[in-house]
Structure 1
């Protein structure tokens, strides 16, 4: 089978190699289904260099002291006693005061949606607009929009495209309440907005659109990194003569577009059309929220896949970006700049354009290795079907296959501790990389394979980067290609208290005091039971964890059908911004909404007689005394 490369609009060409490694075969043969030691056997990690100061973590002086809330099945956001949750930026709210009003019947047009807050809120970041204490009362929220629900959205494919991308909103705290305000900073980035490409992959002609945005990160120079995840859902075709090739199969591209094909609205998304551009999507996008005239930049050196995370830190002065391919059986990645980021910027070069992308190979014995996705390395050569570095990055999934990276059980968000530099990864659960636990893990031995099995509840692992003296000399001080890891927490663990039971961890975020915040995303088919672990966890939630004691406490619960996704905070640690995604989504427990009954599962946040549920950001804080 020919290993097709990208379309001719890209500076890469078709190749001849097959997918080098099939995920399930690797797992079964190599025993890498289990990223885990049991909690009883997890050893302390060695020391590591902490990330640089001045990152986006926030002190949690007021937030870390709370009485845990109980698991809930209520159609509401619940927070601890004494805290307030202000609803900000619900889907459909106009981003400017002069914009179109939200129509509760879902009849807003695509043009109106393009200047209203998008749908399915995911990643979020807060960018202060003032120095000192005032910077914790006024700032910009950048909100990612991951998907749409056709039954609730109303309208056709063009409206779904307009509901994608990013929203930038100014928010202020006044009189003890947070509100979005009209501002010159406010804007939308949609699936039709102009973008530009930078890095090894060159794109001919003009490009537009940011789709399926998921996790976010913040660069040391103050820009936002937003990830494109399930962009494949928007592509499709009605041409009966179209045939899937390997480049389509590996990226989940199909004729039906998973029920949301955009090709009916725009030929860019028609897989059979000459101008089809699936390679325009699946990147990490850089945006300057403080410059309303700036054009988003797709940073191609960071690779093309279904990005679930873009977590920024630094090591030895070099920029490091951890990312994940957020599908079952996919990989963990790390990007390292070619030189210290300050030196690159002083030369007028972006640290996001010059560096190396790595994929992780992880063994059950607690050791990991970073494999460079670099043209000419290992099998990534011309005689194996790879044309150049651009080709490797456009087909990053296939390159990681060829190198033998480790498939994982839905790798989602990455977080780096501001105290000790430990790196944490949320595995939401699945069958693509099931962890070894219990008696198997205790008895198998450090180097023996673990038995295969599903991981329905997910888990969190952590690791620490390691460097030998030889590696330091050989790589000129660059971060090392190896790490040591251990399991941190397991979803559905019966040893968790009732106040800390959780399943399907997806989001991770650190406050500056070292508190780890976990947001969960149990899917609708499993939410609220009948599995005992899902019953114990209740609705999806936001939980706080002390990494030293591993004590877990539930801080917030979501409405019915919703996931808790992005989390960010103010510099003074007094406010958390928390995204509530797709309340009212179909669930086995509560039913199936449709155009005739959009409120079958949830009516949050309006709870009125009309309307429909709406994704939104909530600002959770202690009222001013």
Structure 2
């Protein structure tokens, strides 16, 4: 999620600060020389994976590494591709580009009237905070389409609920003349109200008419805004924990709002999980000493938008001051940051339902969550990445089994949270973050004896599972997880259960700090990793991993066991993979949020056939945007793609103000997208 060309707050390199200085070895046994490791692995990895996976080994069971310049096909000749379109070229146009035979149309842009009295969006952005609370939010991100009959097991493709995140804001576009700050440093109440309201989630009831045109069903009871001020329940092991006590919730069971929602995850029971990613920057703590729960996440002395300085001093804004200003935590908001950093469950079919923060999935910079296919009578399994440089990939396994007839979000309140370690030999392990695990407890006690984890003082063990979850990053440091190159979106292949994750980039990794899973230092372009759980069981604690593709310019190769399996060219060069999604026919969609300089130009979306590694550019966004969030209707004939922070006057050339929007993509012949 590279934020650029917006305002000084997002040019700041500390937007996603590196806060992992644990000194963690990325795995227990690291071979001394990177080139030695590669030479040795070419002869040993196949056997290692075969022993781990048996007959269910990865299709390419060997180490992958990037190269340039050698000729190789980017698909396997003996297999036909699932991709049935001609790739589009890179673009610098301020419009969406799709293949010949397809059409693209902007839909539900920021400010679209949604609820209440349906306030019209003013071209000069002079709408009030109260208006924004009834309009579609800003900076569209993760999105999902719920068929209107999904709760009864249906798959309607012409009517449903489009649910999307609104990650953050562009203050210059949100207000007629940008943000206002008075001479004494305070900010106008209504500007702050509007900024809070532009965050969060929109639930939008949409319907397709007989001519194939989509529109919002105005007046529908399903239409809803969840914002940075909406009251929410704390659920799971952290509920009632002392470190979440605030003036608003002295019993630590509630909070207000969800912020910086990036990716998401639809649950097997038909609800929506919104991820809280870079929430740390919304808070300010001026205390001389900050607690480890804030240090490890980068909460600093100044906040991103100065909401805590709203001139009226309303409690709903004062809470963004995380300093200890009163006699106890129940009298101020020193613990308010601890109520953020979770996955937030919203039932789009219950307009009056209170959102639930599911703390069992851990507290960190969640990019999103992806569920393995739910199986009757077996635990629920889901994965989540922590989108920051040198952070980790996590897995949650529920304690109780899934039963379709009764399943709900309480399944996420009890279970085991694991963090991934990627070994050099192509194997991996899921390390439990639990006081019930003797290995973790031993490592924790060793950290206590040392007195610190990196630069963070650690002189007493975690007091409970709640304490571990509030300090998930620190617990993962202690466990010995592999620091990754900004793990972002994940996707599970519906055909074989393999799990894919984007590793967007890492400008801070150095050549002497690489490992097999993150082999480039620095890593300006990113790559995609994938793995298969041992025995094809998502509950397993061991797995085999490989690299699917390295991003880069034309000529960049992904080499497996000495052979190039992907060579990028003008039809598929890309950088900084971010969004990731498998459609219902098994195509893998890859979205980018990286450099918009040559040779990449505007950010884009590509389609991949995971069997053949055939990758083709399908979609290019307008100038300055991030292409983020993608879903189709169940019949795969309508695609929804989100465009975030466009520049200039997209999508309305007649209005001198950019508006984030969803793009509807269809085939002109009404066929399946991508086929």
If the length of structure 1 is used for normalisation, what is the TM-score?
A: 0.81
Counterpart of 2:628 in structure 1 is 565
Alpha-carbon contact 1:20-1:402 (below 8 Å) kept: no
Give the drift of 1:624: 5.4
Counterpart of 1:334 in structure 2 is 395
Counterpart of 1:181 in structure 2 is 217
1:480 aligned to which of 522, 531, 540: 540
Counterpart of 1:429 in structure 2 is 505
Call closer, same or farther: CA 1:159–1:196 in 2, change over 3 Å. same
Matched, 1:65 2:125: no
Counterpart of 1:128 in structure 2 is 147
Call closer, same or farther: CA 1:369–1:319 in 2, change over 3 Å. same
CA distance in structure 2 between the aligned counterparts of 1:452 and 1:557, rounded to whole angstroms: 27
Call closer, same or farther: CA 1:319–1:92 in 2, change over 3 Å. same
CA distance in structure 1 between the aligned counterparts of 2:257 and 2:429, rounded to whole angstroms: 35
Give the drift of 1:314: 3.9
CA distance in structure 2 between the aligned counterparts of 1:622 and 1:79, rounded to whole angstroms: 10
Counterpart of 2:413 in structure 1 is 353
Alpha-carbon contact 2:27-2:481 (below 8 Å) kept: no
Give the drift of 1:253: 0.3
2:275 aligned to which of 223, 227, 234: 227
Counterpart of 1:249 in structure 2 is 295
CA distance in structure 1 between the aligned counterparts of 2:548 and 2:230, rounded to whole angstroms: 41
CA distance in structure 1 between the aligned counterparts of 2:30 and 2:139, rounded to whole angstroms: 36
Counterpart of 2:65 in structure 1 is none
CA distance in structure 2 between the aligned counterparts of 1:150 and 1:31, rounded to whole angstroms: 46
Counterpart of 1:281 in structure 2 is 340
Partner SS, residue 431 of structure 2: strand
CA distance in structure 2 between the aligned counterparts of 1:349 and 1:329, rounded to whole angstroms: 30
Matched, 1:490 2:550: yes
Call closer, same or farther: CA 1:429–1:615 in 2, change over 3 Å. same
Call closer, same or farther: CA 1:112–1:63 in 2, change over 3 Å. farther
Call closer, same or farther: CA 1:357–1:37 in 2, change over 3 Å. farther
Counterpart of 1:412 in structure 2 is 488
CA distance in structure 1 between the aligned counterparts of 2:519 and 2:574, rounded to whole angstroms: 24
Counterpart of 2:159 in structure 1 is 138
Counterpart of 1:456 in structure 2 is 524
Matched, 1:217 2:265: yes
1:606 aligned to which of 642, 652, 658: 652
Call closer, same or farther: CA 1:614–1:21 in 2, change over 3 Å. closer
Counterpart of 1:532 in structure 2 is none
Matched, 1:543 2:606: yes
Call closer, same or farther: CA 1:320–1:25 in 2, change over 3 Å. closer
Structure 2: any 5+ residue segments left out of the alignment? 1-17, 59-80, 180-190, 241-250, 311-316, 326-331, 449-459, 556-566, 671-675
Call closer, same or farther: CA 1:548–1:433 in 2, change over 3 Å. farther
Partner SS, residue 339 of structure 1: strand
Matched, 1:80 2:99: yes
Matched, 1:201 2:231: no
Counterpart of 2:306 in structure 1 is 261
Counterpart of 1:22 in structure 2 is 21
Counterpart of 2:245 in structure 1 is none
Call closer, same or farther: CA 1:417–1:436 in 2, change over 3 Å. farther
In the TM superposition, 1:374-453 aligns within 5 A as: 374-377=434-437, 378-380=439-441, 384-431=460-507, 453=521
Give the drift of 1:432: 5.7
1:620 aligned to which of 637, 653, 665: 665
Deviation above 4 Å: which 4+ runs of structure 1?
A: 27-34, 36-50, 131-134, 343-346, 379-384, 431-437, 449-452
Give the drift of 1:547: 0.8
If the length of structure 2 is used for normalisation, what is the TM-score?
A: 0.75
CA distance in structure 2 between the aligned counterparts of 1:304 and 1:542, rounded to whole angstroms: 29
Structure 1: any 5+ residue segments left out of the alignment? 1-18, 51-61, 469-476, 529-534, 585-601
Give the drift of 1:106: 2.1
Call closer, same or farther: CA 1:538–1:167 in 2, change over 3 Å. same
Give the drift of 1:275: 2.1
Alpha-carbon contact 1:319-1:340 (below 8 Å) kept: yes
Q: Between 173-182 and 549-558, report the one with greater CA deviation.
A: 173-182
Counterpart of 1:512 in structure 2 is 584
Q: How many aligned positions are there?
A: 548
Give the drift of 1:413: 0.5
Give the drift of 1:268: 1.2
Give the drift of 1:37: 7.5
Call closer, same or farther: CA 1:481–1:432 in 2, change over 3 Å. farther
